[in-house]
Amino acid sequence: MKIKNQTSMPSKYWLVILAVICVGLLGIEAVSDGGGPLRFVANYTIVPMQKGISYAGRYLSDISDNFDTLKEVRAENDELKSRVDELTIDNTRLRQEQYELERLRELYQLDENYSDYEKIGAHVIANNGSNWFNDFTIDKGSNDGVKVDCNVLAGSGLVGIVTEVGPDYARVRSIIDDSSNISAMILSTSDICMVRGDLQLASDGKIHFENLPNNDNEIQVGEQVVTSHVSSRFVQGLFIGYISDIQVDSNNLTRSGYITPAVDFSNLQEVLVITTTKQEMVGGDEASGEGE
């Protein structure tokens, strides 16, 4: 006896299912404006996936481009930093050359002002370790014609005098040193006075003068002070500075006060040395009653 398969579906049901599917597809076609059922399904499934994949691709591409751009920017930044360093060095060098040129112009003008004297230029190579150039060393010596008692100039006037000489160096004591004393005179009246160094006054940019006769000659602040003709070791007429303060002493016979030096003793780099001493100029010592 043949057993009937209970799981098989009657063919009429298959026809009904196919009919429903067809109607559904027709409905989908109608809703999708004739684009077809596959296009409708694709619009809601495949197309969004494609958009997502495209967006992700663009995002990853942008990240890659950003990394490449970042590398380029870093490379350009390193190059710019290197260039800035080079320009900074060049600018510093130019500024140094400019300052040196200005100092050399001052020395040239000073050389012109004292053109009657033989001079040699020198660089300051050491000082005594203080903030002031009251005792310093230059890079010229006896091989260059420098001798003890040679007068030294810088800025706009007198710096000091050579106290020690070696073959290739010389030591200079400046007019602000405590042991310095110079016979000077007021340029406008030719009155003689004594100018003495004082390191305690150096920070105020001053040196002291004394023993100026209290006579009828009126002397004002701003008067120029130069080395006198009776100085035993300083050439006559070297500019020392300007009177900044003057007063009558208690004895009522003399006047004293302060001078603003013509030289900046906090910054000396180049000097001029007059290679002929006062003794050589006059053929011997002149008695003056003063230390220098």
Q: What is the DSSP string of 14-81?
A: HHHHHHHHHHHHHHHHHHTTTS-HHHHHHHHTHHHHHHHHHHHHHHHHHHHHHHHHHHHHHHHHHHHH
Specify the range with the lowest mean pLDDT, choosing from 76-85, 99-108, 149-158: 99-108
Q: Which amino acid appears at position 153 of this protein?
A: L
Those residues whose C-beta lies under 8 Å from the C-beta of residue 113, and which sit 6 or more positions away, are: 239
Beta bridge partners of 94: none
- Between 22 and 193, name the one with better pLDDT: 193
Question: So what's the pLDDT on residue 223?
Answer: 96
CB 235 within 8 A of CB 278: yes
pTM of the model: 0.66
Structure tokens at 80: 């710019």
SS3 labels along 97-128: HHHHHHHHHHHHHHHHHCCCCCEEEEEEEEEC
3-class DSSP assignment, residue 156: coil
Report, as an integer, the average pLDDT of 95-116: 72
pLDDT digits (tens, 9 = 90+) for 52-74: 666 666 766 667 667 677 778 77
Spatial CA neighbour of 257 closest among 216, 203, 201? 201
Those residues whose C-beta lies under 8 Å from the C-beta of residue 187, and which sit 6 or more positions away, are: 223, 224, 225, 226
pLDDT digits (tens, 9 = 90+) for 153-178: 998 899 999 999 999 999 999 999 99
